[in-house]
Amino acid sequence: MESVLSKYENQITIFTDYLEEYSDTDELVWILGKQHLLKTEKSKLLSDISARLWFTYRRKFSPIGGTGPSSDAGWGCMLRCGQMMLAQALICRHLGRDWNWEKQKEQPKEYQRILQCFLDRKDCCYSIHQMAQMGVGEGKSIGEWFGPNTVAQVLKKLALFDEWNSLAVYVSMDNTVVIEDIKKMCCVLPLSADTAGESPPDSLTASSQSNELIFLDPHTTQTFVDTEENGMVDDQTFHCLQSPQRMNILNLDPSVALGFFCKEEKDFDNWCSLVQKEILKENLRMFELVQKHPSHWPPFVPPTKPEVTTTGAEFIDSTEQLEEFDLEEDFEILSV
């Protein structure tokens, strides 16, 4: 991702210029399933973008694993993208897609709790510390760059320890989404189950005038932010208050991870219907959607949390208790 952004750096333009360029048109802009009419809703559009949780490189956090790096600059960009995708799923789950953020305005307690899941601390369930250490089991050394699939697999495993959100994270094999497997996985959870990502829009039709992408760039290094004495987090650096960037979709690296959030079974059924109607009719499609588990695949077994007894952010002395994760060194288990 970093090399792609560097390669096409001169093709990225500031979004305010984009707004001015199309200010007199009736073009629609989609932001995570919500559409905005560019001609009349520019302020709402920018407000919607700034409300998304923005995770970037950070410096001066506690060393990962006690002796590892204290900054993820240069290697943590894909981990930050994964955090942003999952954070948006949690926002939709607890606050709804129409929730908005305003600078220095008091937010619901669920918002602060979501934000604290991603702080750069070893005792936060989706922190850079947890993701980097869980990545060891995926063959990645701490401080090594992750690809999209590694990030997805790491988040899938970390979600097993997140009792508050009770997420069911499904990562497709061979670009094939199996409806039967997802429903089986969601039904085994004690609470409402989700597939991580973002809910689908009512229509997936792209604009014929532009298919450009608006994105939040993680390649900015900010100082570590911790909780304050009152238990709150100063959240201003977790929202992009500058104009976001855009790029031509043809310049997108083909190695990508798409995330979709479904709060209820009916949402998932609606997503399947939209995918079959709008995406699978195309000749060059990014993934397949099938009803039944392919017979030539290994049997599908929903992931379960290992039987590990721990209180808080303790280090496990032996990885034998986590054999199914194939970890190569100690991992930190959380009580969320």
Q: What is the pLDDT of residues 106-120, one digit of tens each?
A: 899 999 999 999 999
Check residue 249 and give its pLDDT.
Answer: 87
Beta pairing class for 213-215 and 34-37 = unpaired
Whether pLDDT at 90 is above 90: yes
**In sequence order, what are the residues at sequence separation of 6 or more whose Cβ sits closer than 8 angstroms to the Cβ of residue 85?**
196, 197, 198, 257, 259
Query: Within a 10 A sphere around the Cβ of 302, how many other Cβ atoms?
Result: 14
Asked if residue 191 has pLDDT above 70, the reply is no
Pick from 62, 58, 143, 49: nearest CA to 100: 49
pLDDT, position 42: 84
Question: So what's the pLDDT on residue 281?
Answer: 80
206-215, 238-247, 312-321: the lowest-pLDDT one:
312-321
- pLDDT (mean) for 117-139: 95
- pLDDT surpasses 80 at 88: yes
Q: Which residue has the higher pLDDT, 40 or 99?
A: 99
CA 254/CA 287 separation, integer angstroms = 12
Residue 190 DSSP symbol:
S
Catalytic pick among 94, 123, 219, 235: 219
Asked whether the predicted pLDDT for residue 205 surpasses 80, the reply is no
What is the Cα–Cα distance from 223 to 56, expressed in whole angstroms?
10
What percent of the chain is modeled with pLDDT above 70?
76
Residue 14: pLDDT above 90? Answer: no
pLDDT tops 50 at residue 258 = yes
Mean pLDDT of 75-90: 97
94 is an active site residue: no
Query: With bands split at pLDDT 50, 70 and 90, how would you rate the model's confidence at 317?
Result: very low
Q: Are 195 and 165 in contact (CB under 8 A)?
A: no
Is the predicted pLDDT of residue 163 greater than 70, yes or no?
yes
Q: Does the active-site annotation cover 217?
A: yes
- Predicted confidence at residue 194, as pLDDT, reads 44
The pLDDT of residue 203 is above 90: no
Q: What does the buried/exposed string (b/e) look like for 71-92 if buried means 16 or more CB atoms within 10 Å of the residue's CB?
A: bbeebbbbbbbbbbbbbbbbbb
From the candidates 77, 117, 125, 240, give the one annotated as an active-site residue. 77
pLDDT top residue among 92 and 21: 92
How would residue 298 be classed by pLDDT, with cut points 50, 70 and 90? very high
Percentage above 90 pLDDT, the chain: 55
Is the pLDDT at 209 greater than 50? The verdict is yes
Give residue for tokens 């520019």: 42
Comparing 204 with 52, the larger pLDDT belongs to: 52
Run of H or E including 36: strand 34-37
| HEC readout, 227-275 | ECCCCCECCHHHCCCCCCEEECHHHCCCCCCCCCCECCHHHHHHHHHHH
The residue with greater pLDDT, 314 or 95, is 95
The listed range with the strongest mean pLDDT (24-38, 118-132, 192-206) is 118-132
Mean pLDDT (the chain) is 81
Question: Is there a catalytic annotation at residue 293?
Answer: no
With beta carbons less than 8 A apart as the criterion, state whether 259 and 170 touch: no
Would you say residue 34 has pLDDT above 80? yes
Residue 197 has pLDDT above 80, yes or no: no
First to last CA, the chain: 31
- Three-class SS of residue 58? strand
pLDDT value for 271? 94
CB–CB of 196/172 below 8 Å?
A: no
| Per-residue pLDDT tens over the stretch 259-291 | 999 999 999 999 999 999 888 787 778 889 999
One of 124, 194, 217, 240 is an active-site residue; which one?
217
Of residues 231 and 204, more confidence is placed in: 231
Residue 262 β-bridge partners: 195
pLDDT for residue 335:
32
For position 241, what pLDDT does the model report?
A: 86
Alpha carbons 211 and 186: distance in angstroms, whole number: 34
Token code pair at residue 201: 């829009």
Q: What is the reported pLDDT for 285?
A: 81
